[in-house]
Amino acid sequence: MSKPGITRRDAVVSGALLATSPLLSLPAWAQQAKRGGTLVLGSTQVPRHLNGAVQSGIATAMPSTQIFASPLRFDDKWNAQPYLAESWKLAEDGKSLTLNLRKNALFHDGQPVTSADVAFSILAIKANHPFTTMMAPVEKVETPDPHTAIVRMSTPHPAIVLSMSPALCPILPKHIYDDGKDLKTHPRNSANPIGCGPFKLVEFQPGRRVVMERFDKFFLAGRPHLDKVIMDINPDASSLMLSFERGDIQMLPYISVPSDLERLAANKNATMEAKGYEGIGALNWLAFNLTKKPLSDVAVRKAIATAIDKNFICKVLMGGFATPDDGPIIPSSPFAITDLVRYPYDLKKSAAMLDAAGYKAGAGGERFKLTIDYLPGADDQQKNVAEYIRGQLKKIGIAVEVRTSADFPSWAKRMATHDFDMSMDLVFNWGDPVIGVARTYVSSNIRPIVWTNTQSYNNPKVDELLKEGGSELDPTKRKAYYAAFQKIVTDELPIDYINVIPYHTAASKKIGNVPMSIWGPLSPYDEVYLK
């Protein structure tokens, strides 16, 4: 039950869910399922390994959520539901979460799932996952009996319930992974990973395919419905589109290319759904390296922002499918505010701002040079926007070189080592600011790892606001902390926010129960079936 006066959505998002009944009804979109068949899913996302406990991102999470089960799952209304934990209770002070585990859960090797596995996994995530704020308050996990795990926290943690989600909290077998080896590079991350999820790994060809088959002893009776799930990995989105149209692939998640969306909308044999991406909260933005001159000067960053026409990007470059974004929290979030510092498009004003800041144009009209990188793989959101920005900044005297990375690891290394001036990036909110937003701005997360505070932004006031917002249970007070944070960062502009990613899932009409919870394609596929 939630606190009086708080909506169910606010209660879940803020982590103020105190308890649930052991069983909740199936989501409204669930249909009568039949057993059997193989689902082939196409993806441009290339997982480096399959263990979501030590790796963020959708590439790893899609297979990880099938192999590993999590304590809880969520429906399409942000309501927490039982999964590996049949019931749970968040203490009124927000400092402990009790998980009551199912007694019939087994790992794929036949060993029982116990509270010791849950304790090991949560502490492993705290120590190894890039989202340092997600489990930061966790001090210990008590195991009073084999089927009860009590997560103890140093401060109230309003997002701890959401942190138990499939994409964020995979439960690992302690008897396999607690062997003294570095968990981040553990050989069982890729070779024969063992979980307790609905599917077990059969084959993993890095960069090509992931094959998983039904786990017959899955703890939810009668599930999964499918015999097999195959993830066909191909960085070439156009090839995946052709395979989908031929019927070789039945589901394509994370589609954002305007031409592809238009083709799919006209496909009578397919459905196209924007629902299912609320949890990740995907934003496209331009990140600045604040350690480099002249980008260390906020006036330069504001001038650059003023030279970029977000409406043109969304309407022309993205075919009208995308919407502009002006802040660090996705507009659909209950924590987002509209009272942000904005930079309306004005080239004359942008040039004047640079003049006033002392960056006068030389004899050839050039003021200074910069580089711009972009995340490989999503040209509509990344490369095309980078090229557009290059052209816009040339108009105000900034010479920009667009740098292409051969692959994701190459780009990620540049970000991690701070070897960049500016970079386009696609970043997720991950449901709650304490999980996916704070990591980009807190000074303690300036680390040599991609998708941390790679901008090297450092503001003690922002650190304090995010700390307070991350431990406040009252939704109204939380919103006030995050409102102040949003106003500061849009004024100081370590990042120029460009647009909300228009992700869609295309699915054959032969698929039943297409995943449309808040985690969409990152949900377990135990309810998916072929008609």
- 165 with 98, same domain: the answer is yes
Question: Sign of the CA dihedral 12, 17, 22, 23?
Answer: negative
Taking the C-alpha atoms of residue 486 and residue 467, their distance in angstroms, rounded to an integer, is 14
**Over the stretch 140-178, which tens digit does the pLDDT of each residue have?**
999 999 999 999 999 999 999 999 999 999 999 999 999
Task: Provide φ and ψ at 209, rounded to 5°.
Answer: -160, 155
Q: How confident is the model at residue 133 (pLDDT cuts 50, 70, 90)?
A: confident
Going by C-alpha positions, the residue among 95, 507, 519 that lies closest to residue 280 is 519
DSSP readout, 297-343?
SHHHHHHHHHT--HHHIIIIITTT--EE--SSS-TTSTT--S-----
> Does one domain contain both 413 and 324?
yes
DSSP designation for 184? G
- 11: pLDDT confidence band, cut at 50, 70 and 90? very low
DSSP-derived letter for residue 77 is T
Q: What is the pLDDT of residue 250?
A: 96
298 has pLDDT over 80: yes
Query: Does 208 score more than 80 pLDDT?
Result: yes
Are residues 128 and 265 located together in one domain of the fold?
A: yes
Domain-located, residue 3: no
pLDDT(416) > 50: yes
For residues 350-357, average pLDDT: 98
| Within-domain flag for 28 | no
Consecutive H or E run containing 43: strand 38-43
Which CATH number characterizes residue 287's domain?
3.10.105.10
In a domain, 269, yes or no: yes
Helix extents (H) in 90-214: 115-128, 174-177
Q: What is the mean predicted confidence (pLDDT) over 73-88? A: 96
Backbone angles phi, psi at 316, to 5 degrees: -95, -60
Instruction: Give the model confidence (pLDDT) of 377-400 as tens digits.
Output: 778 889 999 999 999 999 999 999
My answer on whether 213 and 70 are in the same domain is yes
Tokens 């949890």 identify what position? 279
Report residue 117's pLDDT band, with 50, 70 and 90 as the boundaries: very high
Render pLDDT for 172-207 as a digit per residue (tens, 0 to 9).
999 999 999 999 999 999 999 999 999 999 999 998
Give 172's DSSP letter.
P
Report pLDDT for 408: 84
* Dihedral, CA of residue 111, residue 115, residue 118 and residue 124, to nearest 10: -100
> Number of structural domains, the chain?
2
The reply to whether 191 falls in a domain is yes
Query: Would you give the end-to-end CA distance of the chain in angstroms?
Result: 36
| CB distance 285 to 495 below 8 Å | yes
Is 29 a member of any domain?
no
- Regarding whether 92 and 44 lie in a shared domain, the answer is yes
pLDDT digits (tens, 9 = 90+) for 321-336: 999 999 999 998 989 9
28 pLDDT band (50/70/90 cuts)?
very low
Q: What is the spatial distance between Cα 154 and Cα 329, in angstroms, rounded to a whole number?
A: 26
Q: 90 with 158, same domain?
A: yes
Q: Are residues 235 and 318 in the same domain?
A: no
CATH code for the domain in which residue 252 is found: 3.40.190.10
* Euclidean distance between CA atoms 288 and 424, whole angstroms: 9
Range of the domain at 296: 282-500
Tell me: pLDDT of 413 over 80: yes
Average model confidence (pLDDT) for the chain? Answer: 92
Residues 226 and 323 in one domain: no
User: Percent of the chain having pLDDT more than 90?
Assistant: 85
DSSP 258-270: HHHHHHHHT-TTE
Predicted confidence at residue 132, as pLDDT, reads 85
Q: Is residue 339 part of a domain?
A: yes
The alpha carbon of residue 268 and the mean position of all alpha carbons in its chain are separated, in whole angstroms, by 31
CB 311 within 8 A of CB 324: yes
3-state DSSP assignment of residue 56: coil
Q: What is the pLDDT of residue 322?
A: 94
Please answer whether residues 321 and 256 qualify as being in contact, where contact means their C-beta atoms are separated by less than 8 angstroms.
Answer: yes
Number of C-beta neighbours around residue 48 at 10 A = 16
3-class DSSP state of 45: coil
Tell me: do 237 and 365 sit in the same domain. Answer: no
**pLDDT for the residue 504:** 95
Whether 77 is in a domain gets the answer yes
Of 394, 511, 521, whose CA–CA distance to 30 is shortest?
511
**Average pLDDT of span 274-290:** 96
Question: What distances in angstroms separate CA 69 from CA 54, 116, 199, one per listed residue?
Answer: 15, 15, 10
Asked whether residue 7 carries a pLDDT value surpassing 80, the answer given is no
Same domain, 442 and 521: no
206 & 350 share domain: no
Residue of 347, 292, 324 lying closest to 494 (CA atoms):
292
Query: Which tens digits make up the pLDDT trace of 214-264?
Result: 999 999 999 999 999 999 999 888 899 999 999 999 999 999 989 899 999
Same domain, 181 and 253: yes
Closest by CA position to 226, among listed 452, 33, 43, 90: 33
Do the domain assignments include residue 313? yes
Q: Which residue has the tokens 């470059």?
A: 317
As a whole number, mean pLDDT of residues 265-273 equals: 92
| pTM for this predicted structure | 0.86
Q: How many CB atoms lie within 10 A of CB 37?
A: 16
Integer Rg of the chain from CA:
23
E-strand ranges in 354-476 read 368-374, 398-402, 422-428
Would you tell me how many other CB atoms lie within 10 Å of the CB of residue 143? 17
